[in-house]
Amino acid sequence: MSFDLKVGFSCNNKCIHCVITDKIYCGNSTTQEIFDIIDNNVRQGEEVVITGGEPTIRNDFIDISKYIKKKINGKIILQTNGRKLSDEKLAKESLKYIDVYLIAVHSHNSIIHNMIAGHQDAYTQTINGIKNIIKYRKENTEVISQTVISKLNINGLIKTYDMIFDLGIRDMNLTFPHPNGDALKNFNAVVPKYENIKEDIHKVLKKYSRFINTEAIPLCYLHPYENKVFYSESIRINQLSEARGFDSSIEGIVQDYNSLISNEYRKPKSCTSCIYNNQCLGVWKEYYEHYKNELDLYPIRRKNEI
């Protein structure tokens, strides 16, 4: 079980693929409001995911983390761009409370990463933040990278994962952009067609499949590596875990995030003849609508061994 705690929408990046730019008006919850949400909704043993916006830019980030730690005995997961963790003092203090760091790294190339993140210091600060967490982490602290594929970073994708691996990270996410917010606004500049990135994806999967978690990449494009990676949609399809959360932009507590997200996917009729039809959610509905007349999904009829 997990509980997503969205503490607000403010951020020190302006990512070209950001899905929540249209929710900035919702503002940020106060410290007391967050404490009340924790008291009234988070269950013992439940994992809490601190997300935003960017949680670490809040002056009360450590106070919130400390409060959660006192209230629950489950893991605390932080979703972050990692920039503020370049402050060694903040990084070390956060390690007292955070069990899992999910840090966004979008390119091995500083110019491309900064272009995607919308800030000239983003790359340097993110990499230094990762180095601080790796340097000072406890034995059981997990560090996971989050890379969102786009037209800007796809050509050097394998080099990005080489760099992430060299930093000491052994749990790496490979994510297709969700065309909402700025990602929808910048669709033609950001969102690639699956058929155009298959070769680049497979280079990464061939080398790092056992370290990779994928999101929003249909199984026909993971094939023949689909059994070598963790396909995150399987959690939603098979209801392997319960996911709830707080999001002020949709009026409070969401009791079933898995169903909410699953409803955002679409598949064409041709998928019914695929051997993975019952195991695959398909593609984001916005991608489906944009490419409806030239949709690039195809059925897999037989498993191929690697």
With DSSP H G I counted as helix, E B as strand and the rest as coil, what are the percentages for the chain, rounded to 5? 45, 15, 40
Q: What percent of the chain is predicted at pLDDT more than 90?
A: 78
Contact (Cβ atoms closer than 8 angstroms) between residue 205 and residue 265: no
| Global confidence as pTM | 0.92
Spell out the domains of the chain, with CATH numbers in brackets. Answer: 2-264 (3.20.20.70)
- 241 — pLDDT class (breaks 50, 70, 90): low
Calpha distance 101→104 (Å, rounded): 10
Calpha distance 271→254 (Å, rounded): 30
101: which DSSP letter?
Answer: E
- 240 — pLDDT class (breaks 50, 70, 90): very low
Contact (Cβ atoms closer than 8 angstroms) between residue 30 and residue 59: no
Q: Which of 122, 176, 189 minimizes the C-alpha distance to 148?
A: 176
- 232 — pLDDT class (breaks 50, 70, 90): confident
Q: Which of 87, 44, 47, 62 minimizes the C-alpha distance to 7?
A: 62
Over residues 52-83, the pLDDT tens digits come to: 999 999 999 999 999 999 998 899 999 999 99
In the chain, the amino acid numbered 239 is Q
53: which DSSP letter?
Answer: S
